[in-house]
Amino acid sequence: MAIKLLEKEHTKVGMRVQDGWGNVGTIRWLGRIEKTAKPPNNDAGTYAAVEFDRAHGGWHRCDGMLSGIRYCTSPAGTVEFHKPKDALYPEMNGSGIAALRHKFGARIAHLHDEILIKFLIARKFELAKVFEMLENDLTWRAEFKPDADEYFPSEMANGYPIGFGAGTDKEGNLLYFERPGNGGHVHPKDFVKQWGVARIARWHAATMEEGRRRQLDSNYAHRRVTMVIDLSHLGDSDRGVLDFAKAIGKIDQDHYPEHLCKMYIINAPGVFSGIWRIIRVFLDDRTKAKISVVGADFKPLLLQQIEEKYLPSFAGGTDDSWLHRGGTMGGADHSRVGTSTVGIVTTSEAEASGAHA
């Protein structure tokens, strides 16, 4: 059942299709756009104007008019122009969801269809691989027990404030912000030494669960999360910091597929280039394509995805609603503490077992 890009000769107006993000829509126009008509990226070729079921305000969305030429008439924020052979697939979400529900039955009755679509996308609709990934996730959850309301000391925010903003990005995704080291207030190495990789990884998992909860509460009007991570005055790194980065990367890829829309790592110091080269090894190509690492000249890039009114003060804005919970995550019940470290592998453990990066 592996998903395959559309072939030009099999693409028709009125056809139901989906893109690589799982967005489903209908082809309203199909034809060739020459360079004189200013096609997307100035790349002439055969394009489909797809009217997607869900509208959003992303810069690449329109109402069917492109560069002053109307190709179709659709609601604002619903149409994108794509070359079918590069970006469009036959609609497959429904059959994929049905296969998963048939396979896992009551074990996934609590999961929203949007969660299942994300697992399907992560494994390119290759059902055997999707089955394996979802089985591993269910097993991990039974032992690790990630919990959005798990208790974590408020002091963790002194060295690493985190939080969800009150707004959304231009595509309707949740906004989430982090400041590792809190702008130089605490050295990352000291933060990891104080709290330990296992606790920080559980803290991160709680954050991911909070994102899921907010997506569900919106009935998936907010389908993903756009993250901004500020590395101002980050300082150097050591094995503990790398362990932390790899631990959360593994959790995200294995158990929260397609959770991320975009990640902007801003104010990245020169020392981070070495860390990033190591971290990149542990990320799949699709995840790497979502991440932008920039220095101090980051604002124009952020404004492509986020309205200025929703930028926090550390990013040149005024909206610090992300700190409304004091820069931390989790609940207030001190007895609600998780202990499992399953799936959290440190560099030393990997080397001891002979594992390869």
**Tokens 């056809």 sit on residue:** 15
Say if residue 98 is in the same domain as residue 186.
Answer: no
3 falls within a domain: no
325 falls within a domain: yes
CA atoms within 13 A on the CB side of 291: 17
- 316: which 2 tokens? 């040149």
| pLDDT (mean) for 133-157 | 97
Say if residue 324 is in the same domain as residue 269.
Answer: yes
Say how far apart CA 325 and CA 334 lie, in whole Å.
16
49 falls within a domain: yes
| pLDDT (mean) for 224-252 | 85
Say if residue 274 is in the same domain as residue 319.
Answer: yes
Say if residue 201 is in the same domain as residue 339.
Answer: yes
Contact 51, 81 (CB under 8 A): no
16 falls within a domain: yes
Say how far apart CA 268 and CA 283 lie, in whole Å.
19
297 falls within a domain: yes
pLDDT per residue over 190-206, tens digit each? 999 999 999 999 999 99
Q: Is the dihedral of CA 283, 289, 293, 298 positive or negative?
A: negative
Total domains, the chain? 3
CA atoms within 13 A on the CB side of 87: 16
Pairing of strands 260-266, 291-293: parallel
pLDDT per residue over 167-226, tens digit each? 999 999 999 999 999 999 998 889 999 999 999 999 999 999 999 999 999 999 999 999
Say if residue 103 is in the same domain as residue 83.
Answer: no
Say if residue 106 is in the same domain as residue 242.
Answer: no
Say if residue 265 is in the same domain as residue 283.
Answer: yes
Taking 70 as the threshold, does the pLDDT of residue 75 lie above it? Answer: yes
Contact 119, 130 (CB under 8 A): yes
pLDDT per residue over 2-40, tens digit each? 778 998 888 999 999 999 999 999 999 999 999 999 999
Say if residue 213 is in the same domain as residue 301.
Answer: yes
pTM of the model: 0.90
150 falls within a domain: no
Q: How many helices (H) and strands (E) does the chain have?
A: 12, 12
Say how far apart CA 349 and CA 357 lie, in whole Å.
12
| pLDDT (mean) for 35-60 | 95
Taking 90 as the threshold, does the pLDDT of residue 331 lie above it? Answer: yes
Pairing of strands 174-178, 162-168: antiparallel
149 falls within a domain: no
* Domain range enclosing 303: 156-353
Taking 50 as the threshold, does the pLDDT of residue 350 lie above it? Answer: no
Kindly state the percentage of the chain with pLDDT values over 70.
95
Taking 60 as the threshold, does the pLDDT of residue 283 lie above it? Answer: yes
Say if residue 187 is in the same domain as residue 253.
Answer: yes
Say if residue 256 is in the same domain as residue 176.
Answer: yes
Say if residue 183 is in the same domain as residue 327.
Answer: yes
Give the DSSP per-residue string, 110-128: TS-HHHHHHHHHHTTT-HH
Say if residue 215 is in the same domain as residue 348.
Answer: yes
151 falls within a domain: no
Q: CA angle, corner 267, sides to 205 and 245, nearest 5?
A: 30
Domain at 205, CATH number:
3.40.525.10
Domain at 99, CATH number:
1.10.8
Domain at 32, CATH number:
2.30.30.190
Between 75 and 349, whose confidence is greater? 75
